[in-house]
Amino acid sequence: MHLVRASFVLTAVAILLPVAAQAQSLGEIAAKERQKREAQKKPPAKVLTEADLEKAKGATANIEAVTPGMVEGSTPTGAEGTKPDGSGEKKKVEGEKSEEELKAEQQAAWRKKVEAAEKKLKTYQELQVKVQNDLNDPNLGFYTQGRQTSLDLLEDAKKNVAAAQAELEALAAEGRSKTYGR
CA distance 68 to 118: 34
- Taking the complete model, does pTM exceed 0.85, yes or no? no
Confidence tier at 102 by pLDDT (50, 70, 90): confident
* 165: exposed, middle or buried (Cβ count in 10 Å: 0-12, 13-18, 19+): middle
Q: Are 22 and 145 in contact (CB under 8 A)?
A: no
CA dist 50 and 76 (Å) reads 17
Confidence of residue 165 (pLDDT cuts 50, 70, 90): very high
| CA 109-115-121 angle, 5° bins | 135
User: Per-residue pLDDT for 57 more than 60?
Assistant: yes
How confident is the model at residue 129, as a pLDDT? 92
The residue among 44 and 85 whose pLDDT is bigger is 44
Distances (CA, A) of 8 to 1, 21, 139, 145: 11, 20, 17, 21
Give the pLDDT score at 72.
Answer: 45
